[in-house]
Amino acid sequence: MNILITGCNGQLGNEMQLLEREYPQHTYYNTDVEELDITNQQAIEAFVNEHAIDGIVNCAAYTAVDKAESDNQLCTALNTEAPAYLAMAIEKRGGWLIQISTDYVFNGTKHTPYVETDTPCPDSVYGSTKLAGEFGVLKFCQRTMIIRTAWLYSTFGNNFVKTMIRLGKEKSELGVIFDQIGTPTYARDLASVIMTAIEKGIQPGIYHFSNEGVTSWYDFTKAIHRIAGITSCHVRPLHTAEYPTPAHRPNYSVLDKTKIKQTYGIEVPYWEESLAVCIHKLLAQ
């Protein structure tokens, strides 16, 4: 197949590129804004047709959650309009689309893991634009697979894990929020699931994926420091109210992964085991 990967310079896009080597039977077109502006509908149509694209993995998104509150226009262009353009273009070729979405489509007021049939109720510009993006791809491409994920980190780009390692080495004390609960997701594990879906065949619909288990940002940080061997930084728990941000964050955003596990016959790694793999790679660098 000829597969278009958007957002190839991001965390997930970079992990996808590493995994492509294990599936050399396909031709991959790894693009970021320099190669393909996905907010330009004509450019997408031309690219998809010129390269006879069979499927698209849309890893591109506006992910600056707080900045999105005051940058609605660009956030909407990338998270809502662009996915619809991709869906329209690939539908004309009878192809498939994998759209990456987020736990932010929920407001986080539940106390049990979110399933795919729960009614979305975003409470931020980022969450609202990502949900609108879901509606668009489902409307315009029959063979659409949406994967909602959460708390993404990797060895690439800027992310919570790398920030906490850096701050842990620089500071003697850190305050980290303890009353927001979720599950970290190693982008490598998400990329692996995407490749499995492509190989086994796209089953349209909405799916949830993160690593297994549950933690808070505070406990996540404690695990990061322990695995990275950082002992000189005292981490203290903060309430969300003590650390106000422009965008509301879900207090509880644990995702139920039963559907994707059963559909594709996969085992999902425990969050702390994947974290250890990632940190050991970071330290080796």
Catalytic residues: 126
Beta bridge partners of 2: 27
Using left for φ > 0, alpha for ψ between -120 and 50, and beta otherwise, residue 52 falls in left
Report the C-alpha gap between 191 and 186 in whole angstroms.
9
Report the C-alpha gap between 210 and 141 in whole angstroms.
25
- Sequence-separated (6 or more) residues with CB below 8 Å from residue 65: 104, 124, 126, 245, 247, 249
- Picking from 202, 209, 208, 193, the residue whose alpha carbon sits closest to that of residue 90 is 202
For 235, the 3-state DSSP assignment is: strand
Report the C-alpha gap between 126 and 106 in whole angstroms.
11
Report the C-alpha gap between 30 and 2 in whole angstroms.
11
Neighbour tally for 199: CB within 10 Å: 11
